[in-house]
Amino acid sequence: MNSSMIGKIEKAHRYANEPDRVRFKALETTISGDNDEYHVTLTPNGWECSCHTFQSHALETCSHVMAMQLMLGKMLKDDVRYSTQTEGEPL
Ligand SMILES: [Zn+2]
Angle at 15 between CA 4 and CA 47, to 5 degrees: 140
Distance of alpha carbon 80 from alpha carbon 86, whole angstroms? 6
71 CA → ligand 1 middle, Å: 15
Range of the domain at 30: 23-91
55 CA → ligand 1 middle, Å: 8
Please indicate, yes or no, if residue 81 is contained in any of the structural domains: yes
Tell which residue, 88, 84, 34, has the closest CA to residue 59.
84
Give how many domains the chain has, as a whole number. Answer: 1
Contact 76, 67 (CB under 8 A): no
Distance of alpha carbon 53 from alpha carbon 65, whole angstroms? 11
* Ion ligand 1 residue ranges (Cβ < 5 Å): 38, 49, 51, 54, 62, 64
pTM: 0.82
Distance of alpha carbon 49 from alpha carbon 61, whole angstroms? 8
| pLDDT, one tens digit for every residue, the chain (91 residues) | 788 999 999 999 999 999 989 999 899 999 999 989 999 999 989 999 999 999 998 888 999 999 999 999 989 999 899 988 887 655 4
Please indicate, yes or no, if residue 16 is contained in any of the structural domains: no
66 CA → ligand 1 middle, Å: 8
Please indicate, yes or no, if residue 18 is contained in any of the structural domains: no
10 CA → ligand 1 middle, Å: 38
Distance of alpha carbon 51 from alpha carbon 45, whole angstroms? 18
Please indicate, yes or no, if residue 14 is contained in any of the structural domains: no
Strands, sheet with 46-49, edge to edge from the N-terminal-most edge strand: 27-32, 37-43, 46-49
Please indicate, yes or no, if residue 87 is contained in any of the structural domains: yes
